[in-house]
Structures are given as structure tokens and as C-alpha cells.
């Protein structure tokens, strides 16, 4: 593993200093004079200050040598801490949304706290309204990244857009606090108005933030080419930037879930024993860490400047390539649009009279082609997110119908980030390296396919459990509204911790599909379109939220078994179809990861 290198070498690599800094390292890149074939290969690459002095593998070495990751730069950890604080505030506040919307204000309460034997609540709008509003919030948070990406790529750059997003989100969190303070929460109409405004403002800030923080963290690692390194044991290995980016996002996701776990646990107990105003105030206080770290590290971050309307150029390339390929025959149309030579006709070097707007080189066209292929992969993600989104509402409501023994019903959702915190290092340190040592290529697209499978298994678990809840609840198929003569909830004797299986399986699916989606969006996008492609990936979650609205009618008794069963069926079938669709792309994974970086904004021919 690359992590065995001494710390001084890790810092040298992280800072991308001159290659001389690494000469004495036992795991340093090999000397350029290692072989004549390497000298010839290295001569093909321009000096760029990042890959200078490295030795690049031959085709034979690419096929035979084991691949490892490089070191993660310290800058990436700083950005990950910003994300941790933002996710603490996001999940810490949103984890109590279901109870805030669905459950009524406890009798005589001015804070919504339910205490040990009661149920926390505020607005009392019911499960359908709860599912609808939380689904809208999910939709809104993942539509607005498109705006954030456009602003960043075209005008302000990622870092500046993130700073603006932090200000907007902070305002939204303050409005959420207002909706829950004593004096407002007792008046449901006033509270729901402030709460709705808070959702919209917070979601806008979240969207501007999300589309730019994910590319920014991976951009701190600057190497893009495979190179040779000799390990302490004397083994020659290939350092693969794609594996390094994968590790960056694995630990970025780990930081996300540390923030989510602490935020969710803390706020569920705040809601349960103090009130909703505290459950919204503490996340706001932690959110203030974001501007502080952004300011302190402002001179350390690697930033990509905006390059104007890159999206317009990318769409013009596609439209230019599609000339003469349109037909009313749908079979022939698909064949024409997916032909191997589709993008070749749009390359500047192939033009006799080159249009003035073609201010880029052939390599940038190849990058755009790769980016479009990635967007085709993302078209399947809304189906995957349908299963994941059950965590945000229906599984929380399911827990409220089971025996909790004083545990807040919404604390169970913390099993998901807890499982991720436990298993992400296991996957990174043990599972993935073991697969590589045995010669198993567990590629990005294979991981995503596995994510569909584990998501399906999670929904099957939830469906079976829901069946037994109905079977054991005193009110049968009306478990969510079952109360005694004093309006105290009557629940199934099944212990709420039986839900663990669903949450752990969803966590596995996130490691395979969600983390890999971030990685795929970054590695397959042109450098000057990374925020946009990342936003398109995030937008798939918004589409899932919109599609999820069609299933709201299944989110009530006695139809919840059908709800989980339908989700499992759709995800399972989609996983099979997904692999059929992407297996040809999977065979070209190495080719796509090692494309030369294109140039945009200059006349190359």
C-alpha cells in the first residue's frame, strides 16, 4: 500500500515539489534511465511541472504490474473538513424534518419535545405531507447544483461560488430556527410558512455548495498519468491516478458521514428531550466552521479558473457531430448517434473550413465525448436513488411503529453513516487491494452495478419487516395511526433494531454506487466542465425525488409493503439492464482514464 511510505515523502508528493525531493525515498518513482523503452515513452510527454521526472509504464507493464494509489494531499483533508461541517448541519437539521412535519405538537408543549415516553412533533400534517415535503426538499437540493455549476464554470470559479453558497445556506438555517422557537411553533400556520421558506433558502445554498465542493476536493490531487514506482519490498508497481481519486472520494465520503452521524444522533436527542429549536440551532453553530476553514486555507487550495460558457461549446460539438445522422427510423437513429465515428467529424483537425467557434483541440473533443458517456451512465441513477431515499422518510416512519424502548425513532437512520464510517476504511485498506492482488478488476461500472444489487436487497429486507409489523401491530394494517384511548401510540412488539439490515445494506450500496458516482463524474469530465458534470450527477437525485412523488400514494398504510416491494423490483431489474448498457464502456475504462488533457479557448489548427 502507498500509505507505508514515510511521512516526509507523503508530504513531498502531496505538495508536488520537484522530483529531486523524492530521489532517496524507498518508494520513489524509478529513475528515468531505467530503460531505453521508458526514455522513449517519457519523451512523448511535455514537461508540466507535475509529472516531470516520473517514469511512465509501457503497454506491457500496464497489463502486468499491480496498480496502487498515490498519496492524498493535505489540502483535500481541509476541504473534507469543510464538507464535514456542512453535512453535520444539513443532516443534523433534516433528520428531524419527518417528525417536525408529520407528528403533532405534544399536548402542552412549547418546543415539540416528546421526552422519553412521548413522540416529538410540531406541525401534525401526517405521513403523506411529511414524505411530500421531504421529497421536495431532496429534489430542490439536487436541482440547484445545476445553477451552482453554471456560475462556477462560467463566471466565479468553484471556490468563490462555494463561499457565496455558505452565506445563503447560513441564512436558511437561521430561518429554520425561527420556525421552531417557542412562540412560533405553537402556531402551525406561522411555523409551516417559516419552515417552508427555510427549506427553499437552505436548499439553494446546499445546491450551490454541492456541485463545487466535490470537484474541488479531487482537484487538489493534480497528477493524471500512470507512472512507475518501486515499493520498499522492491516490487515495481503502477501508481494509478484513477485509484487515487477513488481514495480521495472514499475518505471524502467518510468525512461526510462522520458529520452526518454526529449531527443526526445529537439532533435526534435534542429534538426528543429539549425541542426542535435546539435541533436547528446546533447545526447552525457547527456550520460556522465552513467559512472559517475556507478563509484560513484560501491560499493553499488548487483552483481552476472559470473559462466562460463551456457548456455552449460542448453542445455545439454534439450538434455538429449529429449533422446528417438524423432519421425518423428510431433504430437507425440510435445506431447513427452511437456510431464509433460520431465524434470524429466534430474534431477541428478534420475540418476543411473550420468554424470560428472551434477554439479547442481534438483532445478536448475526446474529453467531451467521455463526459457525454458519463452522463449516459448517470441516466440510471434516479432508479438507484429511489431506494436510498427511503432512508429519509419511510424507514423513519417505519421505526415509529416498532418498539423503541425510549430510543428516538429517527436515531435509527444513523446506522447508515455508522456503517459507512466502519466499512469505508475496510473496503479501502483490505477489500479493494485484495481484489487487485488477485487480478480482479473491480472497475467503477462494476461497483455501480453491485450498488444496484445491494440497494435491492435493502428494500427486500424493509418489505419483509413491514409485513411482520402489520402482522404484529394491535391495529394490523393501520400501524402508523394506532393509538389507545389516551392517544398514546400503540406499536408492534418487534424491536426497532431489526431495521439494521436495511440500513447496512443501503450503506454498502452507497460505497459501491454513490461514492463511485462522484469519482466517475470527476474523472470522466473535461477539466473545465467538472462542476457541470458533477451537477448532472447530483441532478439524478433530484429526478429520483420527482419520480418518488409518484410513489407517495404508497407511503401510507396499508400499502407500505407494496412500496418497498416495488422499489426492490425496479432497482433489481434496472441493475441488470444497467450492466448490459455499460459493459462496452467498462472495457474502455483504462482508455478513458488516460486521455490527454485538451485545450479550450485557443485556436489550435
Clarify whether residues 441 and 523 are in a common domain: yes
| Better pLDDT: 104 or 164 | 164
- Look at residue 422 and tell me if it is in a domain: yes
- Continuous segment of H or E residues that includes residue 227: strand 227-230
What are phi and psi for residue 347, nearest 5 degrees?
Answer: -80, 135
Q: Report the distance separating Cα 212 and Cα 222, nearest Å.
A: 17
pLDDT digits (tens, 9 = 90+) for 464-481: 999 999 999 888 888 888
Clarify whether residues 89 and 134 are in a common domain: yes
Domain that holds residue 50: 2-56
Clarify whether residues 122 and 11 are in a common domain: no
10 has pLDDT over 70: no
CB atoms within 10 A of CB 329: 9
Report how many domains make up the chain. Answer: 2
Clarify whether residues 28 and 132 are in a common domain: no
pLDDT digits (tens, 9 = 90+) for 338-351: 888 899 988 998 88
- Look at residue 333 and tell me if it is in a domain: no
Clarify whether residues 505 and 385 are in a common domain: yes
Rounded to 5°, the CA angle 493-273-121 comes to 70
Over residues 316-337, mean pLDDT: 90
For residue 33, what pLDDT is reported? 45
- Look at residue 462 and tell me if it is in a domain: yes
For residue 42, what pLDDT is reported? 52
CATH at 536: 1.20.1250.20
40 has pLDDT over 60: no
pLDDT digits (tens, 9 = 90+) for 83-101: 999 999 999 999 889 889 9
- Look at residue 432 and tell me if it is in a domain: yes
Q: Report the distance separating Cα 214 and Cα 145, nearest Å.
A: 11
For residue 564, what pLDDT is reported? 92
For residue 392, what pLDDT is reported? 64
Q: Which residues pair with 237 in a beta bridge?
A: 229
Percent of the chain with pLDDT over 90: 46
Q: Report the distance separating Cα 510 and Cα 501, nearest Å.
A: 14
For residue 290, what pLDDT is reported? 95
Clarify whether residues 100 and 44 are in a common domain: no
Clarify whether residues 440 and 380 are in a common domain: yes
Q: Report the distance separating Cα 307 and Cα 300, nearest Å.
A: 21
- Look at residue 360 and tell me if it is in a domain: no
Q: Report the distance separating Cα 120 and Cα 113, nearest Å.
A: 5
pLDDT digits (tens, 9 = 90+) for 58-88: 888 888 898 889 999 999 999 999 999 999 9
Clarify whether residues 39 and 162 are in a common domain: no
Least confident segment among 15-24, 186-195, 215-224: 15-24
Over residues 180-190, mean pLDDT: 89
- Look at residue 332 and tell me if it is in a domain: no
Clarify whether residues 205 and 254 are in a common domain: yes
- Look at residue 418 and tell me if it is in a domain: yes
For residue 350, what pLDDT is reported? 87
Over residues 369-395, mean pLDDT: 88
| Better pLDDT: 9 or 535 | 535
Over residues 133-155, mean pLDDT: 89
- Look at residue 253 and tell me if it is in a domain: yes
| Better pLDDT: 382 or 484 | 382
Clarify whether residues 145 and 9 are in a common domain: no
Q: Would you call 492 helix, strand, or coil by DSSP?
A: strand
Clarify whether residues 27 and 158 are in a common domain: no
Over residues 197-225, mean pLDDT: 93
For residue 17, what pLDDT is reported? 40
426 has pLDDT over 70: yes
For residue 46, what pLDDT is reported? 61
Average pLDDT, the chain: 86
Over residues 223-234, mean pLDDT: 90
Clarify whether residues 28 and 166 are in a common domain: no
Amino acid at each position: 500500500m502507498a500509505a507505508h511510505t514515510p511521512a516526509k515523502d507523503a508530504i513531498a508528493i502531496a505538495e508536488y515539489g520537484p522530483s529531486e525531493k523524492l530521489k532517496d525515498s524507498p518508494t520513489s518513482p524509478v529513475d528515468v534511465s531505467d530503460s531505453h523503452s521508458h526514455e522513449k515513452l517519457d519523451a512523448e510527454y511535455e514537461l508540466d511541472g507535475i509529472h516531470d521526472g516520473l517514469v511512465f509504464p509501457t503497454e506491457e507493464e500496464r497489463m502486468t504490474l499491480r496498480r496502487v494509489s498515490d498519496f492524498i494531499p493535505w489540502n483535500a483533508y481541509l476541504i473534507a473538513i469543510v464538507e464535514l461541517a456542512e453535512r453535520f448541519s444539513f443532516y443534523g437539521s433534516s433528520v428531524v424534518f419527518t417528525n417536525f412535519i408529520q407528528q403533532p405538537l405534544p399536548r402542552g408543549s412549547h418546543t415539540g419535545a416528546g421526552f422519553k415516553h412521548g413522540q416529538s412533533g410540531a406541525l401534525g400534517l401526517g405521513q403523506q405531507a411529511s414524505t411530500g415535503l421531504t421529497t421536495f426538499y431532496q429534489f430542490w437540493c439536487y436541482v440547484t447544483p445545476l445553477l451552482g455549476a453554471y456560475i462556477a464554470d462560467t463566471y466565479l470559479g468553484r471556490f468563490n461560488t462555494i463561499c457565496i453558497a455558505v452565506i445563503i445556506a447560513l441564512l436558511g438555517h437561521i430561518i429554520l430556527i425561527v420556525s421552531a422557537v417557542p412562540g412560533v411553533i405553537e402556531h402551525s400556520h406561522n411555523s409551516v410558512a417559516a419552515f417552508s421558506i427555510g427549506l427553499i433558502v437552505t436548499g439553494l445554498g446546499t445546491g450551490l455548495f454541492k456541485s463545487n465542493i466535490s470537484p474541488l476536493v479531487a482537484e487538489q490531487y493534480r497528477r493524471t498519468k500512470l507512472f512507475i514506482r518501486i515499493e520498499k519490498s522492491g516490487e515495481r508497481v503502477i501508481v494509478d491516478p484513477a485509484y487515487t481519486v477513488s481514495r480521495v472520494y472514499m475518505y471524502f465520503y467518510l468525512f461526510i458521514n462522520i458529520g452526518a452521524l454526529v449531527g443526526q444522533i445529537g439532533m435526534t436527542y435534542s429534538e426528543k428531550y429539549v425541542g426542535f429549536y435546539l435541533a436547528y440551532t446546533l447545526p447552525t453553530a457547527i456550520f460556522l466552521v465552513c467559512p472559517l476553514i475556507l478563509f484560513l486555507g484560501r491560499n493553499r487550495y488548487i483552483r481552476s479558473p472559470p473559462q466562460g460558457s463551456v457548456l455552449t461549446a460542448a453542445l455545439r460539438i454534439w450538434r455538429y457531430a449529429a449533422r446528417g445522422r438524423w432519421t425518423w427510423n428510431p433504430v437507425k437513429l440510435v445506431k447513427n448517434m452511437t456510431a464509433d465515428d460520431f465524434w470524429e467529424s466534430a474534431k477541428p483537425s478534420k475540418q476543411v473550413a473550420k468554424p470560428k467557434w472551434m477554439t479547442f483541440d481534438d483532445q478536448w473533443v475526446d474529453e467531451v465525448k467521455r463526459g457525454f458517456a458519463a452522463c449516459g451512465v448517470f441516466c440510471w441513477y434516479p432508479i438507484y436513488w429511489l431506494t436510498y431515499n427511503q432512508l429519509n422518510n419511510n424507514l423513519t416512519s417505519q421505526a415509529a411503529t416498532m418498539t423503541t424502548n425510549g430510543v428516538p425513532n429517527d436515531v435509527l437512520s444513523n446506522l447508515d453513516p455508522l456503517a459507512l464510517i466502519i466499512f469505508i476504511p475496510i473496503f479501502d485498506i483490505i477489500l479493494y487491494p485484495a481484489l487487485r492482488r488477485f487480478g480482479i478488476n473491480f472497475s467503477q461500472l462494476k461497483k455501480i452495478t453491485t450498488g444496484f444489487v445491494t440497494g435491492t436487497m435493502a428494500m427486500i429486507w424493509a418489505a419483509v419487516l413491514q409485513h411482520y409489523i402489520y402482522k404484529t401491530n394491535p391495529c394490523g394494517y393501520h400501524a402508523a395511526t394506532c393509538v389507545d384511548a389516551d392517544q398514546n401510540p400503540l406499536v408492534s412488539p418487534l424491536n426497532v433494531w431489526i431495521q439494521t439490515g436495511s440500513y447496512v445494506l443501503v450503506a454498502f450500496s452507497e460505497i459501491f454506487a454513490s461514492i463511485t458516482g462522484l469519482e466517475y463524474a470527476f474523472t470522466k469530465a473535461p477539466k473545465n466542465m467538472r462542476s457541470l458534470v458533477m451537477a448532472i450527477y447530483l441532478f439524478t437525485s433530484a429526478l429520483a425525488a420527482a419520480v418518488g412523488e409518484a410513489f407517495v400514494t404508497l407511503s401510507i398504510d396499508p400499502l407500505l409493503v407494496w412500496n418497498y416491494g416495488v422499489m426492490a423490483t425496479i432497482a433489481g431489474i434496472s441493475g441488470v439492464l444497467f450492466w448490459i448498457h455499460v459493459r462496452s464502456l467498462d472495457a474502455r475504462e483504462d482508455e478513458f482514464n488516460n486521455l490527454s488533457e485538451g485545450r479550450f479557448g485557443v485556436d489550435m489548427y
